[in-house]
Amino acid sequence: MLYFRKLRLTSFQIILLGFLAVILLGAALLALPVASRDGEAATWLDSLFTATSALCVTGLVVRDTARCWSLFGKAVILALIQIGGLGVVTMATLLGVMAGRRVGLRQRSVLQESVAAPRLGGILRYTRFILRATLALETAGALALFPAFARVYGPQKGAGFAIFHAISAFCNAGFDLMGERTGAFSSLTGFGDRLGLVLPVCLLIAVGGIGFLTWDDIAVHRFRVRRYRMQSKAILAVSAVLILLPAALFFFSDFSDRPLRERLCLSLFQAVSPRTAGFNTADLNAMTGAGRAVTVVLMLIGGAPGSTAGGMKTTTLAVLLATAAAVMRRRKSPQLFGRRIEEQAVHSAATLLLLYLFLTVVGAVVLSVAEGLPMASCLFETASAVGTVGLSLGITPGLGLLSRLVLIALMFLGRVGGLTLLYAAVQSEGAELSQRPLEKINVG
């Protein structure tokens, strides 16, 4: 942090450089021969892609995790997933606190931006809460997953699988170790009807995706929902809708020919996973066009601010919908749960929507031209990358150099956050002391 202070870097630039530094370190470790299962060093591009995907908790892979990486390589991937889920700055601060180092105002400000905390006061207490909640939920998830994996792999290996997938699911990473049993890049398709695995993974994805600020509200106020922050109420309401409606669509369209139990499991999982875990229990190529389109929308929306999930965030959708409702009702300001939304939030939400759509479409055009692939398939992959999801139609492993670099850039930009990227790239001009002349422009 002292070095960053001497460089006069902003909080957003520190977050950006912190992620970049850890990605390069992870790529260097994965490029070592000991990281590969066959003892031959992976190419730098494969290592960089995997490290970026792991730290950005995406899950897109060019090498099957179970078949290609050694125990050391898998440990590096798991460490990157955990760091990426909590945030690079959060992990650095926690290590500093445990080492007895004092956290100054500058470091607290960077930490506030990293975890999307509402205020600077109490930021260390909030960070400790994040660590305790993460350890508790991941431990509970591993215990819940252990019986399902132990029946298949035995107690010892089942315990390792339970820990790996609990962390991967809670951090919304989507990395899995199923390649040896069900085939390369198969994800959880061989376990689609197993409630003992589907339900814990869905719960881990959901609790990781609603954000630590919401969990702080739940821990303090329990079931007294009226006392929750407006943001927490919006996150819970939007998350519930984005699970129930897509699940109903998948239930009546894509999986209508399956037995009832499998149909319920598949529908629920495919509604939860795209925001933004990247596991899949069904063949995505066999889904209907409508099903894949809904999946793309879910991938772009993502989870909550300050969570382990990526995407534009559920609060962005809530603000945009509230703004649309205010326009239709001719209200001056958008409202949510009896509270007025500040104008800056509306501007940020519109900017994020435009940015994510721009990155998704431009990235898809580059992939389509470079690889000669259908635009629809390329849109799916780029939405998955920028939303840090990890779902794939199977084209990522066969992509060339340019296309892989595009996906690496999209994963990185999607994880650090659209506004963080913009604020890091553009220096603030300070408060406006004067305003330009006003002139009307017609829209719509």
- Over the stretch 185-212, which tens digit does the pLDDT of each residue have? 888 888 877 888 889 999 999 998 898 8
**Which letter, b or e, does each residue of 126-142 get, where b requires 16 or more Cβ atoms within 10 Å of its Cβ?**
bbebbbebbeebbebbb
By DSSP bridging, strand 339-340 and strand 335-336 are: antiparallel
Angle at 402 between CA 396 and CA 403, to 5 degrees: 25
* pLDDT per residue as tens, the chain (444 positions): 444 445 566 666 777 788 888 999 999 999 999 999 988 889 999 999 999 999 988 889 999 999 999 999 999 999 999 988 887 666 666 666 665 666 666 666 666 666 666 666 667 777 788 888 889 999 999 999 999 999 988 999 999 999 999 999 999 898 999 888 877 888 888 887 788 888 999 999 999 889 888 888 898 888 888 899 999 999 999 999 999 999 999 999 888 888 888 899 899 999 999 987 888 888 888 888 899 999 999 999 998 888 888 889 999 999 999 999 999 998 888 999 888 999 888 988 998 999 999 999 999 999 999 999 999 999 999 999 999 998 999 899 999 999 999 999 999 988 876 656 665 555 555 545 566 787 777 676
C-alpha to C-alpha distance for 317 and 335, rounded to whole angstroms: 13
Tokens representing 256 are 């209508």
Whether 5 is covered by a domain: the verdict is no
What is the model's pLDDT at position 4? 44
* Number of other CB atoms surrounding residue 329 within 10 Å: 9
What is the domain extent for residue 110?
A: 11-425
Whether 436 is covered by a domain: the verdict is no
Adjacent-strand bridge partners of 340: 335
pTM of the model: 0.88
Handedness of CA 319, 216, 99, 120 (dihedral sign): positive
CA-nearest of 103, 97, 95 to 2 is 103
What residue type is 253 in one-letter code? S
What is the model's pLDDT at position 121? 62
What is the model's pLDDT at position 276? 78
Whether 418 is covered by a domain: the verdict is yes
What is the model's pLDDT at position 233? 93
Total domains in the chain come to 1
Whether 2 is covered by a domain: the verdict is no
Contact 272, 205 (CB under 8 A): yes
What is the model's pLDDT at position 133? 87
Whether 392 is covered by a domain: the verdict is yes
- In the chain, the N- to C-terminal Cα span, in Å, equals 48
What is the model's pLDDT at position 2? 45
C-alpha to C-alpha distance for 6 and 11, rounded to whole angstroms: 13
* Number of other CB atoms surrounding residue 124 within 10 Å: 15
